[in-house]
Amino acid sequence: MSGIDGLGDLGGKRVLVRSDLNVPLEAGADGRRRITDDGRIRASVPTIRQLSEAGAKVIVLAHLGRPEGEPDSAYSLEPVAERLGELLGAPVAFATDTVGESAQSTASGLRDGQVALLENVRFNAGETSKDDAERGAFADQLAALADAFVSDGFGVVHRKQASVYDVAQRLPHAMGGLVSTEIDVLRRLTEDPERPYVVVLGGSKVSDKLAVIDNLLGKADKLLVGGGMLFTFLVAQGHPVGRSLLEEDQIDTCTEYLQWAADSGVELVLPTDIVIASEFPSSSGSTSEPSVVPADAIPDDKLGLDIGPESAEAFAAALAGARTVFWNGPMGVFEFDAFSAGTRAVAQALTEVSTSGGLSVVGGGDSAAAVRKLGFDESAFGHISTGGGASLEYLEGKNLPGIDVLED
């Protein structure tokens, strides 16, 4: 599959690039929206810069949040255009629509090497439509803006959407460097990983991660389970979990995983202690004083919000010496300091795997946000995947439409 070089001389050409700029925003006191984590924008810069340096007129396509197929100022990409400009070190023109007059005049006003960002593609019903014709009609309008298409939004390549899939069928196309790096890393996790290979799973739900467990349990040497999903495993082992997150309908599945691990010799490591509190933390309300209990003794009126210190140490020890690690899902409610220690310990252990020459991969939007929030340097990890859903679907063994479409 050819990279950007395969598109030939891009000097003076208009190139549409689909990036993933779906960053979290928060309204400030002055009512203006601020980007709280610009990781995805920074990850998108190298490809945009590469196209710009090749002399292309670069037209960036992206989405933000889930607007309902029509303009909604709460999901405008305007603040993202500003931040992208800061990171590129050159102003980014912003079009206030995606394929309308503003997009057309912005695109035609670009000089060689200049960059524009079009308004949220999801302000157009055609973007996410299940109807091929409706999506295709929108893709026709997108394609009319440019001479070539570069797919670099790894976070959306599992979506059959107009700006990801249909537009690639209408223009000469190439895979951007971010997408190809992501695919290379994921391939290393699934095809012949260096051993020991440790998978760490956490986050909120077992049900979100079932297919990944299915696919990786047979490949990994150890599986460490933390986060909200651990409680369903504890119940499967017969322990009480109080008011902790529990997916009743997944208890049987967890029982099967425990059995499978025992039969296949995969070491499945569950926490032995848990940080509990009386209520789920909230940024406004009172957070009850956390305490630590054994994992088999969570009181009825409490809920587990992080793995305990003994478990954090055991997880770090299980990761020491690993040559390949895939981590998806925070170990606790890391958004609150009182429940972030488990996540911190796992992140720290991954950086040590990298230092000693192993491959450490962080996947998942919240996990990536967690390592940044906890102050880790991104370069301390082998790879931080920008696409939660897309990397999980790849690891599940599914075909990604946005990748397949680039293959012809």
Catalytic residues: 40, 205, 365, 389
Residues in the chain, overall count: 408
The binder of 134, among ligand ADP, Mg ion, none, by C-beta within 5 to 8 A per type, is: none
Q: Whose Cβ is closer to Mg ion: residue 98's or residue 367's?
A: 367
Residues 336-395 that bind Mg ion (CB under 5 A): 365-366
Q: Which residues of 205-242 are buried (b: 16+ CB within 10 A; e: fewer)?
A: ebebbbebbebbbebbbbbbbbbbbbbbbbbbeeeebb
The binder of 332, among ligand ADP, Mg ion, none, by C-beta within 5 to 8 A per type, is: ligand ADP
The binder of 245, among Mg ion, ligand ADP, none, by C-beta within 5 to 8 A per type, is: ligand ADP
Exposed, middle or buried: residue 49 (CB in 10 Å: 0-12, 13-18, 19+)?
A: middle
For residue 352, CA distances in Å to 180, 321, 340, 355, 383 come to: 25, 9, 19, 5, 13
Q: Coil, strand or helix: which one is 147?
A: coil
- Smallest gap, in angstroms, from Cβ of residue 245 to ligand ADP? 4
- Smallest gap, in angstroms, from Cβ of residue 85 to Mg ion? 28
Sheet with 14-18: strands ordered across: 92-95, 115-118, 57-61, 14-18, 148-151, 173-175
- Smallest gap, in angstroms, from Cβ of residue 37 to ligand ADP? 12
Q: Whose Cβ is closer to Mg ion: residue 342's or residue 365's?
A: 365
Residue 67 and residue 60: Cα distance in Å, rounded? 19
Nearest to 171 by CA among 144, 152, 132: 144
Q: What is the DSSP string of 9-69?
A: --TT-EEEEE------EEE-TTS-EEES--HHHHHHHHHHHHHHHTT-EEEEE---S---S
Q: Whose Cβ is closer to Mg ion: residue 273's or residue 306's?
A: 306
How many other CB atoms sit within 10 Å of the CB of residue 285? Answer: 9
The binder of 304, among ligand ADP, Mg ion, none, by C-beta within 5 to 8 A per type, is: ligand ADP
Residue 126 and residue 234: Cα distance in Å, rounded? 44
- Smallest gap, in angstroms, from Cβ of residue 366 to Mg ion? 4
- Smallest gap, in angstroms, from Cβ of residue 302 to ligand ADP? 12
The beta strand positions in 108-207, using DSSP E, are 115-118, 148-151, 173-175, 197-201
**Residues lying near ligand ADP in the complex (CB under 6 A):** 202-204, 208, 227-228, 245, 304-305, 328-330, 332-333, 335, 364-367, 388
Q: Whose Cβ is closer to ligand ADP: residue 51's or residue 225's?
A: 225
Q: What is the DSSP string of 324-377?
A: EEEEES-SS-TTSGGG-HHHHHHHHHHHHHHHTT-EEEEESHHHHHHHHHTT--
Residue 155 and residue 99: Cα distance in Å, rounded? 22
- Smallest gap, in angstroms, from Cβ of residue 32 to ligand ADP? 25
The binder of 360, among Mg ion, ligand ADP, none, by C-beta within 5 to 8 A per type, is: none
The binder of 382, among ligand ADP, Mg ion, none, by C-beta within 5 to 8 A per type, is: none
Q: Whose Cβ is closer to Mg ion: residue 332's or residue 365's?
A: 365
Q: Whose Cβ is closer to ligand ADP: residue 196's or residue 304's?
A: 304
Q: Whose Cβ is closer to Mg ion: residue 358's or residue 365's?
A: 365
- Smallest gap, in angstroms, from Cβ of residue 369 to ligand ADP? 8
Indicate the residue type of 186.
L
Q: Six-digit token pair at 289? A: 């004083």
Residue 84 and residue 44: Cα distance in Å, rounded? 9
Binding site for Mg ion (CB under 5 A): 365-366
